[in-house]
Each structure stands twice: as C-alpha cells, then as structure tokens.
Amino acid sequence: MIGPDVNQAFEIREVEDGDLDAYYDIRSQSFGHPETERTQWRDRVQRDHDAMRLGAYVGGELVGGLRALPGGQWLNGRSVPMAGLAAVVVRPEARGLGVARSLQFAAFDWMRDRGIAVSTLHPASTRVYRSAGYEIAGTQETVRVNGRSLAAIRTASDAPPEPPVVRLGREDWPAARACYARTAALHHGFVDRSESFWALREPVDDGSSWFTYGVRGTDGLDGYVRYEQRPGTAGWGYRIVVDDFVAETSAVAIALWRFLGAHTMQVPHLEVPHACTDPLLLLLDEQDLSVRFTNRWMFRIVDVAGAIGGRGYPGVGNGSVPVQIHDPWPGGCTGTWNISVEDGTGHAAPVSSDCASADTVATDIGALSALMIGRFSTETLLETGRMQGSPGAVDTLGRLLTSPPPVLDDDF
C-alpha cells in the first residue's frame, strides 16, 4: 500500500500488459467505469500498438497513468500530427504530488521524439493541464434534439428524391472511414483519425446496441450515422445517442436526420454531438435544441516549428513577429521565436534573446496554443495578462495566426 511516504520520487515508465488491471482499477476509481467494461478496455489497449501508455510507480506499485493516442488534427485544411491524451488517472492518495504533471511531461518527450506537433485532451480538471501548458480550445457538447422536429425537416419542392438510408455492416466500415476522411479535412479542429482513434469506434460483435446506417453513393458511402440505443427514462422506449454523423451533401444529411426522426414513436428526443448544432439550427423549423452535457477540450503546442509550419493559412498575408514564449515543460519551447507566414506557409525559428525588442510579443505556450487554434483572440489574452507587447506586434501575431473556432467531437 502507498503510505505516508507517497511523496517519495516516483518512476515514470511504460505500463506493461501485466499492469493493465491495476491501471483499470485506478481508472474505475477515478471515473466510475464499471467492472463489466474491464475486459473490453484491456483487450483494446493491448491491441493498440501505436499508442503509448505511461505509468507512475512508487516502490513498483502503479499510482497513476495515461495513454497518448497518435493521430492528426485538421487545422485550416492541413493535417498536423497530434496526440490525444486519454485515461489520465491518479490514485486519490497520490494526488497533488505532481504525478499527473510528470506523466504529461514524459508524454511530451514521447511526442517530440515522434514528430508530433500538437496535443489535445478532454479535461476533468482545467488547472492540472493548464499548469502543463494546455489551454481551453473548444467546446464539447451533447445536444438534445426533438425527434419530431427531425422527422419534419423539409426539402425543396424541386429537390431530387430522398436517397435511401440502409443499415451498414462490418464490410462497409472501410467505406465509412473513407467518407469520414473526406469530410473531416473540411472542418477545422476535426481529428484526422489513425488506427488508435478508429479503434474506439470500430464495430464489435458483442451483442451491443450500436447501429450504423448510411447512404450509398456511386463510389462508396456519401454519409453515415453511428448511434447507440440506450434504455429510456420512462417505462417504454429508448434513447438514441449519436456518436458519429457524417454527410457529404445536404441531401444526404437531411435523409439521415429524417431517418433518425422516424424513431420518434419510441424516442421523443435524441442526443447528438456539438458539430451538428449549427447545421440543425438552419434545418429545423424551430430551435428545438438544448444542451445536455458540456465540457471544454484543451489543446497544446508541443513543437512550435512543427505546429506553425504544419497548419494552413488561408487568406493570410505575409508577415513576421518575434515571440517570447514561456513553457513549463523542461523540454519545451521556452525562448524567443520568430513566427512568420510567407505565401501561405508558416515558419517558426528560434532566435537569440538578444534579438528581443519593443516589437517582441511575450506569452505562454498555452495562450499561444489557444490563439493558434482560434479559441481566444489577442484582445482577450491581453485583457487577462496572458500576452504582452506593442499594439502593432500583437496585431501582427493575431493576423498571422487567425483561425475559425475549432470543433472536436471525438471522445477519447
């Protein structure tokens, strides 16, 4: 057992297969995951050879862990190498001792060595991750929508016949992946899903209540919806919780929404991801949407040169500005960098601190990350003391890194 000397130095190393049950015990205690999910979680983690799982050990006993899932994130039309942090857990008696922070720094080392430029996560605590350089980047919501309103979505009088919606099987999953890949590239913030991310969504033959329906096109799928039927709150019926909604055209989107709305006799309301909110507000006759759950996901630049050089810059003119960055990670980006954009390509290069001038912008890595992904403006960062600099230099940095608000609905 971990005793009063828990604050002794802990060892950070990879979690071996033999410690996965101990890892699940901490995960279950931290988030309330039931015993019935243990085997499925352990098997999935063991199969994922691309993800890193790190543990903190005291005297050979696991006291905390995390997983880093490699993939990509679409930032202004370009996929930037990204790692999602998942299952970050610490035993209650070891909390507040820097375990989570040390695990994150070790994960950043792993990311840097593999050319991963940015990282995202869904936090249970903002403070823990902000202290390691993450910052709030976007909103993850589950939205409740009236089923009858979906069924009543109208089409134009001259619209072509509604395409048929058919149930998809395991053999259709490659086409679903391809359909997602085509549409994700168009959405700032979406995950460019790797095997590690797709493993969280692959159909399983376990008698579960997951269903996938789609619309076939001339070459694969033109759209699909994946959802789970969960027990209802009344004595009859059930709930539908949409996990993935992908449509390449408005006609396909309307067909899928009307298909879901056809369940209204048993399902008065459905739960859908945040990315569906704006399209539904334009399609529904009334504002029949309400937020059921909300959290704010976080984002961090791991490699300044890789992040600035990897993202897109549509419509951004040329320019450059020196930026002095503070990064709490010992292996991180602390120092002065010249950030520039030339002919649609970004560059970031370290420069001597002697080159700092009145035109240098000073900020921290979290604030720079939030600016780069489009969550907070330079005005807000200045107001909160997270950025300093001359008006001209700050305006230049804001113009170079301008982005639309990001959307990320993948849960991991």
Q: Are residues 148 and 286 in the same domain?
A: yes
SS3 content of the chain, % helix, strand, coil (to 5): 35, 35, 35
CATH code, 240: 3.40.630.30
Q: Residue 215: inside a domain, yes or no?
A: yes
Q: Are residues 21 and 44 in the same domain?
A: yes
Q: Are residues 117 and 160 in the same domain?
A: no
> What's the CA gap between 368 and 80, in Å, rounded?
16
For 121-124, which contacts have Cβ atoms below 8 Å and span 24 or more sequence positions?
121/84, 121/85, 121/86, 121/88, 121/297, 121/298, 122/295, 122/297, 122/298, 122/411, 122/412, 123/295, 123/296, 123/297, 123/298, 124/30, 124/31, 124/88
Q: Residue 163: inside a domain, yes or no?
A: yes
pLDDT attached to residue 355: 65
Q: Residue 299: inside a domain, yes or no?
A: no
pTM assigned to the model? 0.93
pLDDT tens track, the chain, 412 positions: 444 444 457 899 999 999 999 999 999 999 999 999 999 999 999 999 999 999 999 999 999 999 999 999 999 999 999 999 999 999 999 998 999 999 999 999 999 999 999 999 999 999 999 999 999 999 999 999 999 999 999 888 788 889 999 999 999 999 999 999 999 999 999 999 999 999 998 776 555 789 999 999 998 999 999 999 988 776 677 899 999 999 999 999 999 999 999 998 888 899 999 999 999 999 999 999 999 999 999 999 999 999 999 999 999 999 999 999 999 999 999 999 999 999 999 999 999 877 667 789 999 999 999 999 999 999 999 999 999 999 999 999 999 999 999 999 999 9
pLDDT attached to residue 3: 46
Q: Are residues 148 and 278 in the same domain?
A: yes
pLDDT attached to residue 159: 81
Final residue of a domain: which of 115, 133, 151?
133
Q: Are residues 41 and 119 in the same domain?
A: yes
pLDDT attached to residue 236: 72
Please list the alpha-helical segments (H only) found in 73-220: 99-113, 126-130, 147-151, 173-184, 195-198
Final residue of a domain: which of 266, 294, 322?
294
Q: Residue 411: inside a domain, yes or no?
A: no
Q: State how many domains the chain has.
A: 3
Cite the beta strand spans of 171-318 per DSSP E: 191-192, 210-217, 220-231, 238-247, 269-273, 289-301
Q: Residue 61: inside a domain, yes or no?
A: yes
Q: Are residues 169 and 286 in the same domain?
A: yes
pLDDT attached to residue 5: 46
Q: Measure CA of the first residue to CA of the last residue in the chain; give whole Å.
A: 30
Q: Are residues 123 and 161 in the same domain?
A: no
Q: Are residues 153 and 281 in the same domain?
A: yes
Q: Are residues 150 and 277 in the same domain?
A: yes
Q: Residue 405: inside a domain, yes or no?
A: no
Q: Are residues 126 and 185 in the same domain?
A: no
Q: Are residues 161 and 246 in the same domain?
A: yes
CATH code, 333: 3.30.1050.10
Final residue of a domain: which of 294, 316, 335?
294
One-letter amino acid of 178: A
Q: Are residues 80 and 158 in the same domain?
A: no
pLDDT attached to residue 201: 87
Q: Residue 35: inside a domain, yes or no?
A: yes
pLDDT attached to residue 50: 95
pLDDT attached to residue 352: 84
Domain that holds residue 374: 305-400
Q: Residue 1: inside a domain, yes or no?
A: no
